[in-house]
Amino acid sequence: MIETTELTKRYGDKLAVDHLTMSIPSGQVTGFLGPNGAGKSTTMRMILDLDSPTSGSAKVNGRRYRDIRFPLHEVGSLLEAKSIHPARTARGHLQWLADSNRIPRKRVDEVLELVGLSAVAKKRAGGFSLGMGQRLGIAAAMLGDPQTLLLDEPVNGLDPEGIVWVRSFLRSLAAEGRTVLVSSHLMSEMALTADHLIVIGAGRLISQGSVADVVAGSSSSHVLVRTPDVSQLTSILTAEGAEVSTDVDHALRIRKVSIERIGQLAADNAVVLHELSPQAASLEQAFMELTRDSGEYQTELKAPPPPSTTSDGGLN
Amino acid sequence: MESTIVLWANVRAEWVKLRSVRSTLWALAITIGITVGLSALFCSTRVARWDRMGRGAQLIFEPIGFSLNGIFLSQLAIGVLGVLVMTSEFATGQIRATFAATPTRGTVLLAKMKVFFLASLVVGEISSFAAFFIGQAILSSKSSASITDPGALRAVLGGGLYLAGIGIFGLGLGVILRRTAGAIAVLVASVMILPQLVELLPSPWNDDISKYLPSPAGQTMFHITSARPSLSTGVGLLVFLAYPLGACLIGWVLLRTRDA
């Protein structure tokens, strides 16, 4: 369980994290989403006591991180920026980390095996590819067999093979019931791995909840109706307080009224329906919509229009 | 004691860090090489020029401190290594892994100081004793000293301690400044350039200030006699140690509050 209360970080006159209050549930993979510069890394560094908050606090399992005696047993972390000395071997790096938290040396070989780096254990980390470096970082995070993991952009810059590896690794952590906070600016990644989502933009909390909740809360989610009596149905639904928009092909996109109510109203008024279907927004669309006003660098680009075909919402 | 357990775990970790980077071994080897090599060079030149020296110069020649003069250059090797022990962590980002593993930053600094002090003291004493014995062997035909001579053992031990002190001074500067280049510049300025500049001040200011600088104060430990007014060995030792300890103390205060 990770909790932040009114967590705030100010750099000069810029608020990087703005009174962020959130809780990361135990035993689940929580996706920490936000555009670049939203304050994800700063928040994670504050949870780890690497950066001190301007105000507010962060707690891990009810304690401040600095009060944990040997934190690697409880919390593993992978930070976005490399934190490995290039002249040291992979094994050397893990050995000093293990010693600092009284972790048995045999665990070093176990985690090297776990991430598939046993063959290069004696190679200098400076010569590692991005993907190998990331694996070494994950090995370091797993060293103390922690119940809680903080992973900052673990797939950033990886090749497809590396991405697949990290993804299946995240799934295995979830299957073992560990608490994982994984930040990303890639929605599709989170749709595949996360149970719970926390969306931030410009340092502020925008949305938190299950993946389904976040998607449902998006205004891109709506009901698609096809009918020959466009004008009649529109006036009935508008009277019910619905928001109705008309597409070129006589399709109505309806928000703010449930699909059951639309069906009932159509039957009561003897309106013929050719189609009545729920349209879930994809996580990508929900995210774009949520963070539209909070991106650090705004451009004229807007979220893509909802697709006209039935979408499964990317929730497979 | 809980904090003692964390400290000793970190002493082990810092020991692994120190020996698992090849440049450490190089810097330590260079420290020994320079101290001993320069001692041999200075002493053989002195032997070659002995007969051309005046009678007065021959009488005031002090072989103990003379054989340890290589320390003036080798202090840079150990000092720079001290700087790097700290700044390489900041430069590579490893400091974040270090502090995530041990959030009590004072404990990390104390463990680093312990490990590096011990390593540089051992290397310092090896350098100092080797320089002394090789120097005296070369000087033996003219004017040499024995380790049992009054003050000789103290001077040789003092030479090793001086090197270890400069190493910790470099480490402290590394914590304060975080950048390798900046910390090395301040190190070189304080132990080599500052004494030269103070020399240019009008008398008696030059002598009054000079004796409190790190190298003249530290020299009182391994120079039996001095051409210039200097502090007594005891006071000199205390003044000298104030530099490394003061630098580490300032570094500790900064380390607690700064973002990693």
Q: Is residue A309 scored above 50 in pLDDT? A: no
The partner residue sitting opposite B17, judged by closest CB among A69, A86, A96, is A96
Task: Compute the nearest-CA separation of B45 from chain A (Å).
Answer: 40
Neighbour-count burial of B203, counting CB atoms closer than 10 A to its CB (0-12 exposed, 13-18 middle, 19+ buried): exposed
pLDDT, mean of each 10-residue run, chain B (260 residues):
89 96 92 97 94 89 93 96 96 95 96 97 98 96 90 95 98 97 97 91 89 92 78 92 97 93
Find the closest chain B residue to A150 by CA distance: B100
Q: What spatial distance separates the first Cα and last Cα of chain B, rounded to whole Å?
A: 27
Find the closest chain A residue to B13 by CA distance: A96
Find the closest chain A residue to B260 by CA distance: A50
Question: What's the average model confidence in pLDDT over A30-47?
Answer: 92
Q: Which two tokens stand for residue A207?
A: 């949305």
Phi, psi of B16 (to 5 degrees): -65, -45
Residues on chain A touching B100 (C-beta within 8 angstroms): 48, 50, 71-72, 77, 79, 83
Q: Is residue A294 scored above 70 in pLDDT? A: no
Greatest mean pLDDT range, A126-135, A154-163, A223-232, B12-21? B12-21
Distance CA A191, CA A186 (A): 9
The answer to whether A99 and A80 are in contact (CB under 8 A) is no
* pLDDT value, residue B105: 96
| Nearest residue to B58 via CA among B129, B148, B139, B153 | B139
Q: For residue A299, what pLDDT band results from cuts at 50, 70 and 90? A: low
Distance CA B33, CA A227 (A): 92
Find the closest chain B residue to A89 by CA distance: B20
Residue ranges of chain A whose CB lies within 8 Å of a chain B CB: 45, 48-52, 65-66, 68-72, 77, 79, 81-89, 92, 95-97, 99-102, 140
Distance CA A172, CA B29 (A): 48
Task: Compute the nearest-CA separation of B29 from chain A (Å).
Answer: 18
Residues on chain A touching B14 (C-beta within 8 angstroms): 96
Of the listed ranges A2-6, A293-297, B211-215, the one predicted with least confidence: A293-297
Question: What's the average model confidence in pLDDT over A126-147?
Answer: 93
B113, HSE (Cβ side, Cα atoms, 13 Å):
21
Angle between helix B105-139 and helix B71-92 axes, rounded to 10 deg: 160
Domain span at residue B171 reads: 2-257
Task: Compute the nearest-CA separation of A200 from chain B (Å).
Answer: 22
Spatial CB neighbours of A131, under 8 Å, sequence gap ≥ 6? A158, A159, A161, A162, A165
Between A and B, how many CB-CB pairs are < 8 A?
A: 94
Task: Name which residue leads in pLDDT, A299 or B250.
Answer: B250
* pLDDT value, residue A314: 38
Q: Which two tokens stand for residue B36?
A: 């001993």
Domains, chain A, with CATH or none: 2-209 (3.40.50.300), 222-279 (3.30.70.100)
| Nearest residue to A226 via CA among A206, A240, A246 | A246
Residues on chain A touching B2 (C-beta within 8 angstroms): 69
Task: Compute the nearest-CA separation of B187 from chain A (Å).
Answer: 24
* pLDDT value, residue A219: 63
Angle between helix B22-49 and helix B105-139 axes, rounded to 10 deg: 30
Find the closest chain A residue to B15 by CA distance: A96
Q: In what order do the strands lie in the sheet with A251-255?
A: A243-246, A251-255, A222-226, A275-279
Find the closest chain A residue to B90 by CA distance: A83
Distance CA B20, CA A91 (A): 10
Interface test with A, best of B1, B8, B17 (most A CBs within 10 A): B17
Q: Are strands A204-210 and A196-201 parallel, antiparallel or unpaired?
A: antiparallel
* pLDDT value, residue A304: 52
Find the closest chain A residue to B8 by CA distance: A100
Distance CA B160, CA A121 (A): 37
Find the closest chain B residue to A137 by CA distance: B97
Q: Give the model confidence (pLDDT) of A171-204 as tens digits.
A: 889 889 899 999 987 777 787 788 899 989 889 9
Q: Which two tokens stand for residue B91?
A: 């430069």
Contact across the interface for A87 and B23, Cβ inside 8 Å: yes
Distance CA B31, CA B122 (A): 11
Contact across the interface for A89 and B20, Cβ inside 8 Å: yes
* pLDDT value, residue B214: 94
Contact across the interface for B92 and A85, Cβ inside 8 Å: yes
A 10 A CB-CB count for B219 gives: 27
Q: For residue A161, what pLDDT band results from cuts at 50, 70 and 90? A: confident
Tally of domains within chain B: 1
Q: For residue A86, what pLDDT band results from cuts at 50, 70 and 90? A: very high
Phi, psi of B197 (to 5 degrees): -70, -45
* pLDDT value, residue A99: 97
Contact across the interface for A96 and B13, Cβ inside 8 Å: yes
* pLDDT value, residue A162: 86
Phi, psi of A32 (to 5 degrees): -110, 100
Residue ranges of chain B whose CB lies within 8 Å of a chain A CB: 2, 5-6, 9-10, 12-14, 16-17, 20-23, 88-89, 92-104, 257, 259-260
Residue type for position A84:
I
Residues on chain A touching B21 (C-beta within 8 angstroms): 85, 87-88
Distance CA A308, CA A287 (A): 19
Task: Name which residue leads in pLDDT, A299 or A200.
Answer: A200
State percent of chain A over pLDDT 70.
90
**Predicted model pTM:** 0.86
Residue type for position A41:
S
Distance CA B161, CA B155 (A): 10
Angle between helix B2-19 and helix B105-139 axes, rounded to 10 deg: 50
Phi, psi of A24 (to 5 degrees): -100, 115
Provide the Cα torsion B207, B209, B212, B214; round to 10°: -100
The answer to whether B146 and B136 are in contact (CB under 8 A) is yes
Residues on chain B touching A88 (C-beta within 8 angstroms): 17, 20-21
| Nearest residue to B212 via CA among B199, B193, B194, B231 | B231
Distance CA B99, CA B82 (A): 19
Residues on chain A touching B107 (C-beta within 8 angstroms): none
DSSP assignment string, B91-144: HHSHHHHHHHH---HHHHHHHHHHHHHHHHHHHHHHHHHHHHHHHHHHHTTTS-
Q: For residue A73, what pLDDT band results from cuts at 50, 70 and 90? A: very high
Task: Compute the nearest-CA separation of B6 from chain A (Å).
Answer: 7
| Nearest residue to A166 via CA among A199, A142, A143, A201 | A142
